Amino acid sequence: NAGVIQTPRHKVTGKGQEATLWCEPISGHSAVFWYRQTIVQGLEFLTYFRNQAPIDDSGMPKERFSAQMPNQSHSTLKIQSTQPQDSAVYLCASSTGHINTGQLYFGEGSKLTVL
């Protein structure tokens, strides 16, 4: 089992450019989560899917961030018109989807730097 796979590991963009981050959850896991980690804010929840359906996107900045899960084997997080304050490590996690027992397993993260 390869674990949660995130690509790219590092991405540098210029201000105003678009960034797309990919996540491949653990095979058989039905829930996929996106978090953002910065030194100042810590770990912030962004959004999550269960069985490919969006369940909760309450943490997503509404205007420039979007997430999709077109099939059970991958999810994408897209940031349009990136800003320096978007610089962070974006973490994807998956779980079996059982609310009370499903442990979250995290990928190694995608470090986004916006110049």
From residue 86, give the alpha-carbon distance in Å to each of 8, 28, 37, 107, 112.
Answer: 16, 31, 10, 19, 8
Under the criterion CB under 8 A, does residue 53 sit at the interface with another protein? no
Identity of the residue, 17 or 55, whose beta carbon is nearer to another protein in the bound complex: 55
Closer CB to another protein, 1 or 101, in the complex: 101
Please tell me the distance from the alpha carbon of residue 3 to that of residue 25, in angstroms, as a whole number: 7
Q: Which of 76, 85, 59 is nearest to 25 (CA)?
A: 76
Q: With respect to another protein, which residue has the nearer C-beta, 43 or 115?
A: 43
Is residue 91 close enough to count as binding another protein by CB under 8 A? yes
CB of 103 to another protein, least distance (A): 5
For another protein, which residue of 17, 26, 72, 105 counts as binding (CB under 8 A)?
105
- Does 5 contact another protein by CB under 8 A? no
Q: Roughly how many angstroms between the first and final C-alpha of the chain, as a whole number?
A: 36
